[in-house]
Chains A and B, each alone.
Chain A
Amino acid sequence: MEGPRWEEGGHGIALHVARRLIYRAGQLGAVLMSVATLLFILVRLSASPAALLAGAGASHAEVRSAHVAYGLDGPILQQYVTFVTRALRLDFGQSPAHQAAALEVVRLRLPATLMLTAAALAATALVGVSLGVWLGLRADRPEHGWAFRLLLTGQSLPALIVGLVLVQVVGMTSAMGASAPLSFTLSALTLTWWLTPRAARLTAGPVAGAVRQTWVLTAKAMGATSRDVLWGHVLPNSLLAALALVGVQVAFLLSAAVVVEWLFGWPGVGNLLAVSMQARDFPVVEAAIFAIAFLVFATYAMVDLVLAAVDPRLRRRATPP
């Protein structure tokens, strides 16, 4: 009787990581191409494409130079190629409102957004994941019912409402006047509120599933304590599955951040996008969408990498007996 043998240090993980990264890069490329195409169609449909491309508040000379740069006198197919090539080379032009290159304007706002999402993620990992584990371990107990409903209710309170209530409680009269620590704290609090119920529910499912597995019974029959089973087997198995599910939510945290950053005047990319689209500052809007798309797929790739690094199944390669 010989089962499959497992070899340490096979090529499995390198191949797996390479395939995931190529997939994520492909996704990013496809999304960027689609975004550029959609924006090109909108620009062409607008009354004065050159004025839209140059951004609100552009001088005649700037509109003229945008007209030349995008080759708006050429055939439509050539215009499309020019537009997409410029976008993929991250050449979004100058923002008249900021008197700087649009990409540079967005880049300066990136650290603020990264700081905010990192804080919200850390708080959620602490609160949401613990809640999820607690809930998952009590899947068959009566308290699961009300705790679950409470979470569903928390999830149904939109970030916008939570944020507005916080604004009212604190008495923040305008987003501009808020001090940076206050604006950061309230933004992070609102985003944590947004992510926590989702993370808890997505953690509870896999934990409840893992507890039910027959190997839990086997381990206990062999004399392992409940604590050993929980920390040694149930959590490592279920948190991997949970991480994959929560990773998707992090991407959507970025869209919640647009509203939240604007509401509290936190100077991140989301805030910049909100302000720029209201002011029709096209170069900055385009650069901000590209930056967020990049962040989304970078997050997915990072989750893939973490999963590959901690999943022992990927570190071994099965060879036929």
Chain B
Amino acid sequence: MTGPVLAHEMGLSRRLLPAPAIPRPGLLVGGMVGLMAVAVLGLVGAGIVQEHAAPAQRLLAPGTIGHPLGTDQLGRDVLARTLAGFRWSLAVVLPATLIAGLAGTGIGLAAAASLGWTRVILERATETAAGFPFLVLAAPVIAIVGRGYWPLLIVLAILASAPFALAVFDATWGGRGRMPVFQALYAVPAALPVVGAFIVADLVVTEACLSFLGVGAPEVAPSWGNMLADARQNVTTAPWILYAPAAALVLTVLSANWFGEGLGQLWRVKAR
């Protein structure tokens, strides 16, 4: 549910009024600690517990020996699958954010640097694209193309390019006219990590939503969206399937949002 509001939330936009300038290092530090935990779990999490389907051990309750968080309807360990989900989620979202960041920065800078009608058209196109909820288009596209790692990555990258472009354009043009190059050299690197953090949070949720709807990750992939869909299927018989992937998803989104907000406030205070 990526939107142009990202640009506003950064405080670098032309439309935002002065925000409260209380520096809150707690947000930034909390977000960084959370993101580090997510990164570590993404790197080593899949190796801690092995995930394999064992039909004989279907729907075991939490606390069973060998399955501290229980098993799902195919006998897969919930803890192992959730931990593997960190790697899956990061492997899809981080490259998508990187591609979107490069493409969006290019488009945003091109819009800010061009003159006359070219600028107006690029600006309007970026604004229109960033104001359209692309999830409603992305989901059917994957439904037609077929689910999988690459379709998901490409669709998410395209989805996130427009908000990046709008943020970079706002930071360098900002309604006040074109920024001198030396100023843009500071403004763009300052804006990108903030927007990037919000976009990572957003894409993690979008990936989960698409997979939940059955138009994202392949059925066997350890995507949190797939696990949530399993939880929906077994809501009365095995309520425990829900909690682990939900907690992992919230941890990731919360950390990225806190980090982005904390960093944005830091810049806002410094800009004064």
Q: Do A and B come from one complex?
A: yes
User: Which one of A155, A158, A208, A300 has the highest number of Cβ atoms from chain B below 10 Å of its Cβ?
Assistant: A158
Tell me, yes or no, whether B95 is within 8 Å of chain A by CB. Answer: no
Q: Are A258 and B139 in contact, CB atoms less than 8 angstroms apart?
A: yes
How far apart are the CA atoms of A201 and B250 in the complex, in Å?
19
How far apart are the CA atoms of A209 and B134 in the complex, in Å?
32
Q: Are B3 and A252 in contact, CB atoms less than 8 angstroms apart?
A: yes
Q: Are A158 and B236 in contact, CB atoms less than 8 angstroms apart?
A: no
Q: Are A255 and B213 in contact, CB atoms less than 8 angstroms apart?
A: no
Tell me, yes or no, whether A212 is within 8 Å of chain B by CB. Answer: yes
Binds A, one of B75-83, B101-109, B183-191, B251-259: B251-259
Tell me, yes or no, whether B175 is within 8 Å of chain A by CB. Answer: no
Chain B residues with CB below 8 A from A71, complex form = none
Q: Are A278 and B143 in contact, CB atoms less than 8 angstroms apart?
A: yes
Which A residue sits closest to B204, measured CB to CB?
A158
Chain A interface size, under 10 / 10 to 19 / 20 to 34 / 35 or more = 35 or more
CB within 8 Å for A152 and B232 given contacts A161-B249, A248-B5, A274-B213:
no
Chain A residues with CB below 8 A from B4, complex form = 248
Return the CB mask of B210-221 against A: 1 if under 8 Å, else 0.
Answer: 001111000000
Return the CB mask of B123-162 against A: 1 if under 8 Å, else 0.
Answer: 0110010011111110111011100000000000000000
How far apart are the CA atoms of A30 and B128 in the complex, in Å?
8
User: Which one of B9, B209, B231 has the highest number of Cβ atoms from chain A below 10 Å of its Cβ?
Assistant: B209
Tell me, yes or no, whether B177 is within 8 Å of chain A by CB. Answer: no
Return the CB mask of A135-179 against B: 1 if under 8 Å, else 0.
Answer: 000011000110011001101111011001101100111000000
Q: Are B215 and A278 in contact, CB atoms less than 8 angstroms apart?
A: yes
Chain B residues with CB below 8 A from A168, complex form = 235, 239, 242
How far apart are the CA atoms of A293 and B137 in the complex, in Å?
10
Q: Are B136 and A273 in contact, CB atoms less than 8 angstroms apart?
A: yes
Report B147 CB to chain A, min CB distance, Å. Answer: 11
Report B12 CB to chain A, min CB distance, Å. Answer: 13
Tell me, yes or no, whether B63 is within 8 Å of chain A by CB. Answer: no
Q: Are A31 and B5 in contact, CB atoms less than 8 angstroms apart?
A: no
How far apart are the CA atoms of A52 and B131 in the complex, in Å?
29
CB within 8 Å for A254 and B232 given contacts A160-B209, A206-B17, A280-B143:
no
Report A227 CB to chain B, min CB distance, Å. Answer: 22
How far apart are the CA atoms of A144 and B258 in the complex, in Å?
16
CB within 8 Å for A251 and B131 given contacts A160-B228, A209-B17, A273-B136:
yes
Chain B residues with CB below 8 A from A280, complex form = 143-144
Return the CB mask of A276-305 against B: 1 if under 8 Å, else 0.
Answer: 011010100100110011001000100000
Q: Are A140 and B20 in contact, CB atoms less than 8 angstroms apart?
A: yes
Return the CB mask of B19-57 against A: 1 if under 8 Å, else 0.
Answer: 110101011000000000000000000000000000000
How far apart are the CA atoms of A140 and B20 in the complex, in Å?
7
Which B residue sits closest to A244, measured CB to CB?
B15
Report A275 CB to chain B, min CB distance, Å. Answer: 10
- Contacts A245-B15, A251-B131, A278-B213 known; 11 new A-B pairs at CB < 8 A: A27-B124, A27-B131, A156-B254, A158-B250, A205-B17, A208-B17, A208-B20, A244-B15, A254-B133, A259-B213, A285-B143
5 of the cross-chain contacts (CB-CB < 8 Å) are A139-B22, A158-B209, A171-B235, A245-B15, A254-B136
